[in-house]
Structure 1
Amino acid sequence: MTQAIPGFDYQRVPVADGVTLNVAVAGAGSPIVLLHGFPQTHLMWRHVAVDLAADHTVICPDLRGYGASDKPAARDADTYSKRTMAADIVTLAGRLGHDRFALAGHDRGALVAIRAGLDHPAAVTHLASLDVLPTLDMWDVLHGSSAAVAFHLYLMAQPPGLPEKMISASADAFFGYFLDMWAQDPRVIPADVRAEYLRASREAVPSIVADYRASAGIDIEHDRADRAAGNRLPMPVTVVQQDWGAALGFDAAALWRPWAADLEHRTTSAGHFMAEESPDEIIKLLRSLLARPHQG
């Protein structure tokens, strides 16, 4: 790791099966864990984290398989299921002394956060999801030519072998494509941070693909089981996303309501990398979420 969030202390914390996570920690007060997305590392939270650390304990890990965290070989579908990755985060917080904590995730990190809220409701006090739908709904809304915007989901859903070879053969072009196309202004990701994202992703192709492959398989099974059982996120939930519904023809808020009992849903004019493009907006939303009352 060549980049760090200013003022944060770094450590490696064992979480499960010999897997350790790289984590940056700063501040004091009620804890909040911030989970990054693709193709990024914990550095995507650098602006938001510094602000929140003024009055919260802020915990920014690299997810299993990403950044400077361990990247175990995918022994089976569960190795990179969101259930396993969520258990990592609950264990991490506990080992840092926090049995209860707020949780915010962007992109892949948001899917991990949602699963943590469903599987560990007693641990998660508040939940924020940035720019995703729950896995089951995400696949349901992708159809016809509109699914072309998510070509990477279909590529990485294929059996092991070909996706890894194709991506590894042109890793910087592949990952750089998303950094360029998903940002309204790619300049919000400075050259040194972009280089770190590309380096980290280049070194993690098998685990990144395994994470996405799980979302086309075992993660759907877990979501279906929760939907059938009527399980919901009981904590206050804030969702902020681009107006996907207008672009692809669905009502995002309506898709979210069955999952969250206490939901605030917002759209943003920022691009996908909203914590880097519009950090003040995300800070305001997270502080508003943390002020909402919760049980327990």
Structure 2
Amino acid sequence: MFEGFRDEWIDVGEVGLRVRHGGDGPPVLLIHGHPRTGATWHRVAPLLVAAGFTVVCPDMRGYGRSGKAPIEDDHLQQSKRTVARDLHTLMTKLGHDQYAAVGHDRGCYVALRLALDHAGSVRKLVVMDGVPISEALSRCDARFARDWYHWFFFAQRDKPERAILADPDAWYAGDPTRMGEENYAEFWEATNDPDTVKAMLEDYRAGLGVDNDHELADRAAGHTVACPTLFLWSTRDDMEVLYGDPLAIWRRWAPGLRGVPIESGHHMAEENPEALAAAVTGFLRQPDRPSSDSGQFGGEPR
């Protein structure tokens, strides 16, 4: 994986981050979701490098081989604001004062937080397979509680760790054939490590508390994403089932929005990297000014 990339441990303050980076051109930060590591991008990153971008693939704090911070009572150590600050510091240390932020799953919440808290540095935003946490919680009904029960189970104290660590392979059930052997090996290492499992659960505990509070404060203050934004969703996931038109939700947060569906299950970076890379590349090559639902690139816009 990641042939030609540098693989480093970089101190960003409270923790150190494991990061792979390579390429030459405009910088793109790729932010993974749960329970993946930066290795989930191993099929996408080389395609973006070949398209002329510098690509940065960290393990977020708490995930993979990156550092785990001491747990705070309010779980602020794993809040999206704190993780975003880590990643902004990382990009600055790598010499990238401005960059595109691309986030999938839990990583899309971090990418959104980067665009809100570090607006002067994030020139373009890509969010995938998620809506803002506060929007999901405000729409929580019986179907959401049934299909996304893990949000609420993971937020409980101690019990999810005991359940997961009793049989991590059964709980997470990764597929080395679909994921790629090396990516799966990193995933397996992470999901079988008690410290990493606890830190990943802290992501969800922060989500139902401080992260939701931060988003509600943004909405009350009228804060929105200033840069052009692309929303990508997997056609075989449940975005439209849960939310109807997720683009309508995202437009409240990102006026300069457009969207492209990707023919894939949830883990699109592993299942359809070519289509994902094409959509991201086309979007990043567009002029930086916000343009809602105009033009076309890498897929059928909506």
Q: Match for residue 293 of structure 1?
A: 287
Where does 1:96-107 land on structure 2 (aligned, <5 Å)?
96-107=94-105
The partner residue of 1:33 within 29, 35, 50 is: 29
Query: How much has 1:193 moved relative to structure 2?
Result: 2.6
The partner residue of 1:258 within 248, 252, 260 is: 252
Query: How much has 1:16 moved relative to structure 2?
Result: 1.9
Query: How far, CA to CA, are the matches of 1:127 and 1:232 in structure 2?
Result: 12
Query: How far, CA to CA, are the matches of 1:290 and 1:157 in structure 2?
Result: 36
Q: Does the 8 A contact of 2:233 with 2:239 survive in 1?
A: no
Structure 2: give runs of 5+ residues left out of the alignment: 290-302
Q: Match for residue 57 of structure 1?
A: 54
TM-score (norm. length: structure 2): 0.89
Query: How much has 1:191 moved relative to structure 2?
Result: 4.1
Q: Does the 8 A contact of 1:236 with 1:292 survive in 2?
A: no
Does 2:171 match 1:174?
yes
Q: How many residues align?
A: 284
Query: How far, CA to CA, are the matches of 1:246 and 1:83 in structure 2?
Result: 27
TM-score (norm. length: structure 1): 0.91
Which residue type is aligned with residue 180 of structure 2? P
Structure 1: give runs of 5+ residues left out of the alignment: 181-185
Name the SS of the counterpart of 1:122 in structure 2. Answer: coil
Relative to structure 1, the CA distance from residue 254 to residue 194 in structure 2 (aligned partners, 3 Å threshold; closer, same or farther) is same
Q: Match for residue 67 of structure 1?
A: 64
Query: How far, CA to CA, are the matches of 2:205 and 2:119 in structure 1?
Result: 26
The partner residue of 1:12 within 2, 5, 9 is: 9
The partner residue of 2:146 within 145, 148, 172 is: 148
Does 2:86 match 1:88?
yes
Query: How far, CA to CA, are the matches of 2:240 and 2:8 in structure 1?
Result: 42
Identity over aligned pairs, percent = 37
Where does 1:137-216 land on structure 2 (aligned, <5 Å)?
137-158=135-156, 160-176=157-173, 179=174, 187-203=177-193, 204-216=196-208
Which residue type is aligned with residue 164 of structure 2? I
Does 2:36 match 1:46?
no
Q: Deviations over 1:182-209 (max 9, x none)?
A: xxxx842134432321221221111001
Relative to structure 1, the CA distance from residue 239 to residue 5 in structure 2 (aligned partners, 3 Å threshold; closer, same or farther) is same
Query: How much has 1:123 moved relative to structure 2?
Result: 0.8
Query: How much has 1:242 moved relative to structure 2?
Result: 2.9
Query: How much has 1:5 moved relative to structure 2?
Result: 1.9
CA RMSD of aligned residues (A): 1.8
Which residue type is aligned with residue 216 of structure 2? R
Report the more deviating stretch, 195-204 or 121-130: 195-204
Relative to structure 1, the CA distance from residue 192 to residue 47 in structure 2 (aligned partners, 3 Å threshold; closer, same or farther) is closer
Query: How far, CA to CA, are the matches of 2:10 and 2:243 in structure 1?
Result: 43
Q: Deviations over 1:212-253 (max 9, x none)?
A: 110111100000000111111111111011353542353211
Query: How much has 1:267 moved relative to structure 2?
Result: 2.4
Q: Does the 8 A contact of 1:73 with 1:207 survive in 2?
A: no
Q: Does the 8 A contact of 2:42 with 2:183 survive in 1?
A: no
Q: Match for residue 183 of structure 1?
A: none
Does 2:178 match 1:222?
no
